């Protein structure tokens, strides 16, 4: 009897036998859960926290509570309070505190989800399944290579992890022969880029490469290069991404990697010349200025630093910063060597960076004629770029003269404008000297970044036959100065990145909610679920709604107003336009008093500060205040940007010209996207999808529009991933502490350095995670296409299947849906063309449920 509880000892002495003793743990667990539900445990949700409590029922003879009010007793101190029933949410039994899938919760609500995430985070478990997707908390521990073995080769019953998402996408690609996409969503500084890198390294390490064209070392080298050229220091995040990318791995039918292909878009090129307060330019500048050798400094005229640089580019002054920057530059050079970039090609990259630095040191005269302020530094810029000083000055400032020279040179060879540029009769908007200089720097850096992407793709290129691809999408996270405890308003570039996040969040809304509900309605399957009233489409319409593409009423204007991009596009072409006029037009259309807002609060609110407005991002849960100063100027088509292209391609330095000439055939409108090269079958499909987006009628009409380029880049990204099956990774920020805290007994329940409940509630509500989970729970989580069903199960009835066509012949499922139910059932599908399965029963066998 030793070591047993009294109840178990009594059972054994009474002769109830071993079977009863073995059943006692399960029965005691069931009893404890029954007691839990009988006590009516609830969560009392407050603004900054949520506490466990017990709901008290009114006793006989006591006064009844007012309608909508409940009485609860807090478990922490035993105090009894009366609160509104909206502040109370049902709690789950303790056995679900560490559940691996939020869909398993008995009571699915905000407080229960936050409690599970907090418990798992405290136990160093940052990943949690959210139905078919994954939730990841920031401050993820390092993913050691040894953990890859726990997921390699497995198809199901995997613990929550980014490797499990990669494994699921990998097997889905092989089974369905369909492209897969893993897309990370969330705020900035939540570890999205690191997660994408770990996923790619895992796939390459576990699947293997056909001819070692793609290796883990090369993947690591790519991210080292991209972090140098595409990230900035912004608050606590010293490597904040400022571009969007799609890195695709091409696979053979046997599951081996044949090639990789990188495509980038939405590069924040204006960051080179303008940075928000407290933030820096791209990290490559400080790394290069700290890590170049003496000979290279002399060649690039960097042996002497300028006292002032109008672009804000400076060398690292502190000893520790300089050592870190120098070490990072050495790692960058090693990474470029791993990717096969030769020394001459690396020198060409440093020349462009040095040219941008010298242009910032040269400055521009703000009064009088447009010219450089310091000609000595302008001459140095011309020397490192391989052109004459007068040629550089003409390309930067004298657009009118350059158009005349181009027309004389072209003669009658072509009636079309050169390189997609407008003819001399349309010189474009008038620009100031500062705008011309900043445009040249932005154009040079955009071409430099595209050349880096081209060199990366050259290293990964292969002619091996591939059947499908797995794409990983990484974009700048949702940006708000308020998240970093800063008082400034957000910029136009941050507005564009947030617009991109809204577009990608719209893909999640459509894939997880709208398409699911539409499929159930199409197949006449009754599911008690209504789509949320709010969707990302409201904020997206505020940005890019274009009435010219909508039918107009006869003789009257369109009922739908123009979005901000098209308002800026029109104002940029008008003489005497201003930022206040553009903001007035936007607020009159989408503000609280506007047509689109009606009597309810709209997606936009004008602030008391001059030229500032607030956009209700993420379904109104995360509003951001913007400063519209200078936005009309940023929407102007800057001729200096396109002159930078010709300046590099016509350089007198052969190595420099060789690096940038391959992009000479890329149309001007498409130059904002990098990665058009690629010779594999899958790469050609992806570039073909992008070309189709940029060759539409809308792109042709607005080929000289900065705002149109922004929308087209996001259209191209959306069209690219919509061709595939998307796996979403929701990255959440648990909070940013003001100062590190020492662990104490009182703070034991708070995992990590911070746990910001209001921020997490805003992220959960704004990302629609709970709504997608509810639909996942009440709907049919697993379904199978007719072709996949036959391919997988036809071996169970080989004689019967011989009567029908081959399983590998793709049928038209719409015809199956129009056919009789009997014919569809004989073919192995539901009348809706799909076979859906409910969750497994207690024995682990799925029970088929056919849509009616």
Would you place residue 33 in the very low, low, confident or very high pLDDT band (cuts 50, 70, 90)? low
pLDDT of residue 345: 96
Q: Which residue has the higher pLDDT, 406 or 661?
A: 661
User: What burial class does residue 475 get, using C-beta atoms within 10 Å of its C-beta: 0-12 exposed, 13-18 middle, 19+ buried?
Assistant: buried
CA distances from 71 to 40, 76, 90, 648, 700 (A): 11, 15, 14, 74, 65
Give 484's pLDDT tier (boundaries 50, 70, 90). confident
Q: How far apart are CA 142 and CA 177, in angstroms?
A: 32
When computed from its CA atoms, the radius of gyration of the chain, rounded to whole angstroms, is 30
pLDDT in tens, 496-508: 999 999 999 999 9
What does the alpha-carbon distance between residue 365 and residue 374 come to, in Å, rounded to a whole number? Answer: 9
Cα–Cα distance, 767 to 512 (Å, whole number): 11
pLDDT exceeds 50 at position 68 = yes
Name the residue with tokens 């770029």. Answer: 385
Q: Residue 416 has which token pair?
A: 């079309």
Q: Indicate the pLDDT class of residue 155, thresholds 50, 70 and 90.
A: low
For the annotated binding site for ATP, the residues are 186-193
Distance CA(804)–CA(791), nearest Å, equals 12
Instruction: Write the pLDDT tens digit of every residue in 761-817.
Output: 999 999 999 999 999 999 887 777 777 777 778 888 877 777 765 544 444 444 444
**787/297 Cα distance (integer angstroms):** 63
- Give the pLDDT of residue 334: 97
Q: What are phi and psi of 290, to 5 degrees?
A: -95, -25
DSSP secondary structure of 802-852: TTS--TTS---HHHHHHS-HHHHHHTTS-TTSEEEE----TTS---EE---
**pLDDT reported for residue 601:** 58
H helical segments located in 461-573: 492-509, 515-522, 537-544, 564-573
**What is the pLDDT at residue 405?**
58
Q: What is the mean pLDDT of residues 387-406?
A: 80
Kindly tell me the sign of the dihedral angle through the C-alpha atoms of 588, 591, 596, 599: negative
- pLDDT at residue 852 is higher than 70: no
Write the pLDDT tens digit of every residue in 703-725: 788 999 999 999 999 999 999 99
Which phi-psi region, left, alpha or beta, contains residue 509 (left: φ > 0; alpha: ψ -120 to 50)?
alpha
Count of other CB atoms within 10 angstroms of residue 278: 12
Look at residue 428 and tell me whether its pLDDT is greater than 70: no
Binding-site residues sit at: 186-193
How far, in Å, CA of 786 to CA of 768, rounded? 30
Q: How far from 734 is each of 109, 140, 423, 759, CA to CA, in Å?
A: 18, 11, 54, 7
Indicate the length of the chain as a whole number.
852
* Buried-state track 412-432, b at ≥16 Cβ within 10 A, e below 16: eeeeebbbebbeeeeebbebe
pLDDT tens across 330-364, in order?
Answer: 999 999 999 999 999 999 999 999 999 999 999 99
pLDDT at residue number 512: 94
Half-sphere exposure of 548 (CA within 13 A, CB side): 9
The reported pLDDT for the residue numbered 517 is 93
Q: How confident is the model at residue 176 (pLDDT cuts 50, 70, 90)?
A: confident
Provide the pLDDT for residue 362. Answer: 95
Percentage of the chain lying above the pLDDT 70 cut: 79
For residue 306, what are the β-bridge partners? none
Residue 551 has pLDDT above 60, yes or no: no
pLDDT, tens digit, 9 for 90 and up, residues 585-598: 999 888 764 344 43
pLDDT of residue 146: 45
| Long-range contacts of 835-842, Cβ-Cβ distance < 8 Å, separation of 24 or more | 835/783, 835/784, 835/786, 835/789, 836/525, 836/780, 836/782, 836/783, 836/784, 837/780, 837/782, 837/783, 837/784, 838/780, 839/781
Buried (b) or exposed (e) across 149-164, using 16+ Cβ within 10 A? eebeeeeeebebbbbb
**What is the residue-wise DSSP string for 692-745?**
HHHTSHHHHHTTT-HHHHHHHHHHHHHHHHHTSEEEEEEEE-----SS-----S
């Amino acid at each position: 009897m030793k070591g047993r509880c009294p109840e178990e000892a009594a059972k054994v002495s009474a002769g109830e036998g071993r079977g009863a003793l073995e059943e006692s743990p399960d029965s005691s667990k069931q009893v404890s859960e029954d007691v839990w539900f009988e006590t009516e445990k609830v969560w009392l949700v407050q603004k900054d926290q949520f506490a466990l409590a017990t709901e008290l029922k009114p006793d006989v003879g006591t006064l009844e509570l007012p309608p909508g009010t409940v009485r609860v007793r807090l478990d922490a101190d035993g105090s009894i309070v009366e609160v509104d029933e909206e502040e109370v949410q049902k709690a789950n039994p303790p056995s679900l505190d560490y559940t691996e899938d939020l869909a398993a919760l008995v009571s699915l609500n905000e407080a229960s989800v936050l409690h599970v995430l907090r418990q798992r985070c405290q136990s160093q478990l940052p990943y949690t399944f959210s139905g078919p997707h994954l939730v990841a908390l920031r401050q993820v521990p390092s993913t050691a290579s040894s953990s890859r073995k726990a997921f390699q080769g497995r198809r199901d019953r995997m613990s929550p992890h980014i490797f499990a998402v990669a494994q699921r996408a990998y097997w889905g690609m092989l089974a369905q022969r369909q492209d897969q996409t893993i897309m990370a969503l969330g705020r900035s500084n939540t570890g999205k880029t690191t997660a994408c890198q770990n996923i790619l390294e895992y796939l390459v390490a576990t699947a293997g490469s056909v001819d070692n064209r793609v290796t883990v070392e090369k993947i690591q080298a790519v991210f080292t290069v991209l972090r140098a050229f595409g990230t900035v220091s912004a608050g606590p995040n010293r490597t904040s991404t400022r571009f969007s990318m799609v890195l695709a791995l091409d696979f053979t039918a046997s599951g081996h990697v044949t090639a990789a292909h990188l495509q980038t878009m939405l590069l924040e090129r204006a960051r080179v010349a303008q940075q928000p307060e407290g933030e820096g330019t791209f990290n490559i500048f400080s790394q290069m200025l700290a890590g170049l050798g003496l000979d290279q400094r002399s060649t690039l005229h960097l042996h002497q630093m300028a006292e002032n640089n109008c672009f804000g580019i400076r060398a690292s002054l502190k000893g520790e910063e300089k050592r870190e920057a120098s070490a990072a530059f050495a790692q960058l050079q090693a990474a470029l060597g791993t990717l096969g970039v030769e020394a001459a090609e690396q020198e060409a990259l440093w020349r462009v960076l040095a040219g941008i630095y010298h242009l910032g040191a040269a400055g521009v005269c703000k009064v009088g004629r447009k010219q450089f302020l310091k000609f000595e530094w302008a001459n140095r810029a011309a020397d490192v770029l391989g052109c004459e000083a007068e040629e550089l000055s003409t390309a930067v400032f004298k657009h009118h003269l350059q158009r005349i020279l181009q027309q004389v040179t072209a003669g009658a060879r072509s009636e079309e404008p050169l390189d997609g540029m407008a003819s001399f009769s349309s010189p474009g908007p008038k620009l100031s000297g500062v705008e011309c200089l900043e445009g040249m720097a932005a154009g040079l850096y955009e071409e430099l970044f595209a050349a880096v992407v081209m060199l990366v793709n050259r290293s990964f290129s292969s002619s091996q036959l591939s059947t499908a691809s797995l794409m990983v999408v990484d974009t700048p996270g949702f940006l708000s100065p308020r998240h970093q405890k800063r008082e400034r308003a957000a910029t136009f570039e941050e507005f564009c990145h947030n617009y991109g996040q809204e577009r990608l969040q719209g893909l999640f809304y459509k894939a997880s909610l709208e398409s699911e509900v539409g499929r159930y309605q199409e197949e006449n399957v009754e599911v008690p679920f209504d789509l949320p009233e709010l969707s990302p489409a409201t904020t997206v319409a505020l940005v890019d709604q274009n009435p010219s593409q909508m039918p107009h009423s006869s003789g009257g204007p369109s009922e739908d107003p123009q979005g901000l991009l098209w308002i800026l596009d029109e104002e940029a072409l008008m003489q005497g336009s201003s930022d206040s006029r553009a903001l007035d037009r936007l607020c009159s259309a989408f503000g609280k008093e506007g047509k689109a807002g009606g009597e309810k609060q709209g997606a936009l609110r004008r602030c008391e500060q001059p030229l500032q407005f607030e956009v209700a991002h993420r379904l109104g849960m995360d509003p951001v205040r913007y400063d519209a100063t200078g936005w009309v100027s940023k929407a102007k088509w800057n001729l200096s940007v396109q002159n930078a292209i010709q300046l590099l391609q016509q350089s007198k330095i052969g190595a420099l010209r060789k690096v940038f000439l391959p992009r000479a055939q890329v149309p001007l409108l498409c130059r904002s996207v990098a990665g058009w090269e690629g010779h594999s079958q899958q790469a050609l499909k992806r570039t073909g999808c992008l070309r189709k987006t940029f060759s539409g009628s809308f792109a042709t009409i607005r080929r000289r529009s900065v705002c149109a380029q922004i929308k087209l880049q996001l259209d191209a990204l959306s069209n690219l991933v919509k061709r595939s099956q998307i796996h979403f990774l929701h990255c959440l920020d648990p909070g940013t502490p003001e100062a590190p805290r020492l662990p104490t007994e009182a703070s034991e329940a708070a995992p990590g350095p911070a746990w910001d409940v209001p921020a997490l509630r805003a992220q959960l509500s704004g990302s629609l995670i709970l709504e997608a989970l509810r639909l996942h729970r009440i709907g049919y989580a697993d379904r199978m296409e007719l072709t996949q069903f036959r391919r997988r199960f036809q071996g169970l009835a080989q004689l019967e299947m011989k009567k029908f066509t081959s399983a590998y012949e793709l049928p038209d499922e719409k015809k199956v849906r129009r056919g009789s139910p009997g014919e569809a059932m004989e073919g192995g599908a539901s009348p809706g063309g799909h076979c859906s399965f409910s969750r497994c029963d207690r024995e682990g066998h799925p029970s088929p449920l056919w849509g009616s």
